[in-house]
Amino acid sequence: MQGTGPPAKMAANRDDLTPMMSQYFELCTEFDDSLVLFQVGDFYETFCEAAEISSRTLEITLTKREDSSGTYPMAGIPIDNAASYIETLLDAGYRVAIADQVQDPSEASGVVDRAVTRVVTPGTVLEDELLAAGTNNYLACLITADEKRAGKKGNTSGNATAVAFLDISTGEFRVTSGDSVVIQDELDRLAPSEVITADGSTVGAEFTVDGMQTSFRTEAFDPDVARERVASYVSNPEAVLESEIEIRACGALLAYAEYTQGVDAGGIDYIARITRYSPRESMRLDATALRSLEIFENRDGGDEHTLLGVLDQTSCALGRRTLTHWLRRPLVNQAEIERRHDAVEEFVSRSLVREEARDLLRDVYDIERLITRVSRGRANARDLRSLKETLDVVPELKAALASIECAPLTERREMLDELADIRGLIGRAIQAEPPIEVTEGGVIQEGYDDDLDALRATERDGREWVADLEAHERERTGIGSLNVGYNEVHGYYIEVTNPNLDRVPDDYTRRQTLKNSERFYTPDLKRREDEILGAAERADEREYQLFTEVRDEVAAAAERVQQVASVLADLDVLATLAHIAAERDYTRPTLGGTGIHIDAGRHPVVETTEEMFVPNDTDLTDERLAVITGPNMSGKSTYMRQAALIVLLAQIGSFVPADAATLPVVDRVFTRVGASDDIAGGRSTFMREMAELSEILHNATDRSLVLLDEVGRGTSTADGRAIAWAVTEFIHDEIGATTLFATHYHELTAIADSRSDILNLHFTVDRSNGEMTFLHTVVGGASSASYGVDVAQLAGVPVPVIERSRALLEDGLPSTTKPDEQTNGHSTVDSDSSMTSASVAHSPPSSSHENGRGSDFLLDLEETIRDLSIADMTPLEALTTLNDIQQRIDDRERRSDDR
């Protein structure tokens, strides 16, 4: 978070400031963590250091202001286009305090009163231009149970952490608590754009957060203060929330939301409820799983070729957000999953009903965010008409669903409140095509209010009288060029050119002299002018009053509107999933049992990008762990991800891309697929791989699905094989998770001989005519080779390198051992080796059979390490030396393997 603080150049001469600049200085001091945008007429201005920041960040002109207090930099943005500039400031890490004129300039005796009406931060934006239609924008609050509480002794009940999430644009509010692993998963899953913590708290540093981190006043986290604030939104906080720490998180989050929106406690009235949830109520997907399965982002960070991208054929923004929410939280309650399957199946079989519903839903506005603007008093007349047009869809939608019979759909149909009172009110009150501005008239329907109609009649009659006046006066005076006009400065006038001034009647009074003419008024014209302008002004005031009354009445129905929005969103997603199932030949999965059985499964994303996709079976019913071998590019990773995505699709309530599928209900999906260095975090590829592996081994259960790809490849061959073997044994023996393990360690396939419920699978390759073709088909058994050189050839590696590689494979790598390490051309085995054929069959392949005298080799390494001057080495020299040692060990192991 960044702030500009009070303008330093002003601080030194505060007593000399003009009233307006003194007002600006005071606001900058009060909101010293924000960049204050100060309304001056039609612009938001910044001054001094803040102006220099604005000019540089927004790429706008830096000008100067000169007054009695001096000359200083100034930069401003037009209020009408402020949203785009605010977005740029937020992206640059600034908080923005909006200081609006809160007094009519015409009524001000001195400087116009201004006040900060709201503080805009990444988590508190309400402008449509700054919000993505299909996703939530969460503000989060983090607190641990052992933090000190507003100067009081900390809670010693444990180190549990609570996190509360609020989407201030929709009113959605959720809270949960748990250990650090659970909370990190929730932060990864919901990706808040801003996280608040108490001043001085270190809890934010314990978690990985991509959004802005904000410190907020400690007293807001006090248990008593927080409980009182939560009670202003829900009647009995203890009945809703599980613990004091959750109350504190919710109370502080509400306090911050009220602070940024410029309202008092309890003032965000569209936050109708707080939902307490347990992460165990849904399938847990950590950041690694979301990333490797490409649920929301592809490997390049874009949104193309993702699961969400494939599924998102929703009709409205409400549905898009709900689909995203379902993907973030797949269900784990089998009955609830099957209810969604029932609804999708009904829509699949009733294609005409489905498509009629989808067509109607395309006319639905984002009423969830719209009712928020209504409740905050920020909605205009067009917003109300948009709300009415959406509510007009509801009766039609209920009629379209009249023949539906399955319970999940009939229940939702009955929950659709037609809100006839609200629709009728808006229809009677608001013009069909109102202007954007609500203070300049033209908003309220004729016939809605008698007083307004009378004022309009007076104004209309007056204007008709004026319109007839020109013809009347021309006839009376005989001046054919006489004109009747109006301007805002002088009002109504009769204009006569100079050559005709001698014909002006005595009852004309001069109003304005121009170069070629004179302007006059008459007593009757002046009286009519007063009537017209007075009626118009009073009509505009009356219209605005009536509009705000209508808006407030609509706001009172916010909870009902939110309920309708929720049902419309569910129907949109269910109809969309059915549409995709029908369009892409998805089938309804069967839930039950402990193993995965998929006939002709397909990857839901890859099949949309490839001209031909080869389906594959997955059968992990009798065996729960499969070791998968085959060359790179043969399809191992796609096959594993495909299985996970089919499980995930089933648990959001979707049909799946397969001929048939019988699936368990999975509590978590773990992935260890691919790796990259975490340089900033000080972790190598292998360290990061081991950290992810540790997470799996500590948290997976017998209800989990685990995908492992090339575990152990980041270290020496011997270490890697040993780790891969031990991991396989541990998952099988201790965890019992359903596991797909892809590997290039062909030796690992031997583990299936020692465990009856482990199977080997491999991807087939056609090597006819001297060329290799990937068939992308998985069959039982282990692969006969890794085909690494063939893959290198397909990748375009130069021919000499390929030929040399094949020769080395046939003849063995050249020995790098010293002459005195050779023993008559034969390798020896350490005398203390006691491995037997029986022990080898049940142990990971070992590289301990030394080539030459093992002791000499170790002594050589020991001498090399002892001679290192570690204190004088650069990091690069140290890495190079370690790499050389590792390479020598790898070369020795390879020679041992070849022999």
Question: Residue 400 belongs to a domain with what CATH number?
Answer: 1.10.1420.10
Phi, psi of 712 (to 5 degrees): 90, 5
State how far the Cα of 838 lies from the Cα of 473, in Å rounded to an integer.
122
pLDDT of residue 837: 32
745-754 confidence digits (pLDDT tens): 878 888 888 8
Structural domain containing residue 26: 8-120
pLDDT of 634 > 80? The answer is no
Within a domain: residue 445?
no
What residue has token string 């204009």?
495
Compute the C-alpha angle 490/494/499, nearest 5°: 120
46-60 confidence digits (pLDDT tens): 999 999 999 999 999
Query: Would you state the structure tokens that stand for residue 5, as one six-digit string?
Result: 């603080």
127-159 confidence digits (pLDDT tens): 888 888 878 999 999 998 866 544 443 333 445
Same domain, 254 and 162: yes
Within a domain: residue 126?
no
pLDDT of residue 817: 47
Say how many CA atoms lie within 13 Å of 681 toward its Cβ.
11
Q: Which of 238, 265, 281 is the endpoint of a domain?
A: 281
Contact 55, 75 (CB under 8 A): yes
- Beta-bridge partner residues of 486: 492
Same domain, 137 and 240: yes
Across residues 694-705, what is the average pLDDT?
92
Same domain, 653 and 797: yes
pLDDT of residue 142: 95
> 338 Cβ partners below 8 Å, 6+ apart?
591
Across residues 53-72, what is the average pLDDT?
88
Q: Tell me, rounded to whole angstroms, the distance of Cα 503 from its chain centroid.
A: 75
- Percentage of the chain surpassing pLDDT 70? 83
563-594 confidence digits (pLDDT tens): 999 999 999 999 999 999 999 999 999 998 78
- Helix, strand or coil for residue 325? helix
621-632 confidence digits (pLDDT tens): 988 999 998 877
Cite the DSSP H helix spans in 173-231.
180-190, 223-231
For the ranges 6-20, 90-104, 396-410, which has the lowest average pLDDT? 6-20
Q: Which of 8-17, 433-442, 792-801 has the highest mean pLDDT?
A: 433-442
pLDDT of residue 686: 76
- Helix, strand or coil for residue 657? coil
Within a domain: residue 896?
no
- State the chain's mean pLDDT as an integer: 85
Burial class (CB in 10 A: 0-12, 13-18, 19+), 427: middle
Return the axis-axis angle of helices 717-730 and 875-898, rounded to nearest 10°.
80
pLDDT of 296 > 60? The answer is yes
- Please tell me the chain's helix, strand, coil percentages from 3-state DSSP, rounded to the nearest 5: 50, 20, 35
State how far the Cα of 402 lies from the Cα of 350, in Å rounded to an integer.
12
Q: Which of 752, 786, 811 is the endpoint of a domain?
A: 811
- Beta-bridge partner residues of 276: 175
Same domain, 473 and 384: no
Residue 816 one-letter amino acid: T
Backbone dihedral region for residue 752 (phi beyond 0: left; psi -120 to 50: alpha; all else: beta): alpha
Confidence of residue 848 (pLDDT cuts 50, 70, 90): very low
pLDDT of residue 722: 86
pLDDT of 225 > 50? The answer is yes
Same domain, 679 and 802: yes
Within a domain: residue 739?
yes
Burial pattern 351-370, b for ≥16 Cβ within 10 A else e, equals eebbbbbbebbeebbbbbbb
Across residues 189-204, what is the average pLDDT?
90
pLDDT of 793 > 60? The answer is yes
Q: What is the CA radius of gyration of the chain?
A: 37
Compute the C-alpha angle 155/159/165, nearest 5°: 95
Within a domain: residue 826?
no
Q: How many other C-beta atoms can be found within 10 angstroms of the C-beta atom of residue 141?
A: 31
State how far the Cα of 643 lies from the Cα of 621, in Å rounded to an integer.
13
Q: How many domains does the chain have?
A: 5
Within a domain: residue 820?
no
> 396 Cβ partners below 8 Å, 6+ apart?
360
pLDDT of residue 195: 96
Confidence of residue 859 (pLDDT cuts 50, 70, 90): low
pLDDT of 207 > 80? The answer is yes
Confidence of residue 92 (pLDDT cuts 50, 70, 90): very high
Closest CA to 194 of 171, 214, 168, 172: 214
Q: Supply the CATH number for residue 138's domain.
A: 3.30.420.110
Same domain, 547 and 573: no
Contact 246, 352 (CB under 8 A): no
Q: Supply the CATH number for residue 597's domain.
A: 3.40.50.300
Contact 261, 121 (CB under 8 A): no
Same domain, 273 and 334: no
State how far the Cα of 286 lies from the Cα of 95, in Å rounded to an integer.
30
Compute the C-alpha angle 65/68/72, nearest 5°: 30
Contact 46, 53 (CB under 8 A): yes
State how far the Cα of 73 lies from the Cα of 55, in Å rounded to an integer.
10
Closest CA to 767 of 748, 793, 742: 793
pLDDT of residue 797: 73
State how far the Cα of 201 lies from the Cα of 218, in Å rounded to an integer.
9
pLDDT of residue 689: 80
Residue 466 one-letter amino acid: V
Return the axis-axis angle of helices 523-555 and 381-400, rounded to nearest 10°.
50
Check residue 198 and report its DSSP letter.
E
Within a domain: residue 594?
yes
> How far, in Å, are 92, 285, 573, 665 from residue 644 at the CA level?
38, 11, 21, 12
Query: Would you state the structure tokens that stand for residue 346, as one six-digit string?
Result: 């009904």
pLDDT of residue 655: 98
Same domain, 187 and 262: yes
Check residue 815 and report its DSSP letter.
P
State how far the Cα of 786 lies from the Cα of 788, in Å rounded to an integer.
5
Same domain, 97 and 198: no
pLDDT of residue 346: 98
State how far the Cα of 338 lies from the Cα of 757, in Å rounded to an integer.
29
Cite the DSSP H helix spans in 756-874.
788-794, 799-811, 837-841, 854-866
pLDDT of residue 510: 93
Same domain, 375 and 472: no
Q: Which of 62, 94, 120 is the endpoint of a domain?
A: 120
Q: Is the pTM of this model over 0.85?
A: no
> 630 Cβ partners below 8 Å, 6+ apart?
636, 742, 762, 763, 764, 765, 783, 787
State how far the Cα of 177 lies from the Cα of 247, in Å rounded to an integer.
11
Strands 705-709 and 738-742: what pairing? parallel
pLDDT of residue 154: 39
State how far the Cα of 685 lies from the Cα of 869, in Å rounded to an integer.
26
Within a domain: residue 840?
no
Same domain, 604 and 580: no
pLDDT of 679 > 60? The answer is no
Closest CA to 31 of 56, 5, 62, 57: 5
> 140 Cβ partners below 8 Å, 6+ apart?
123, 163, 164, 165, 166, 187, 190, 192, 194, 195, 196, 211, 253
Same domain, 566 and 609: no
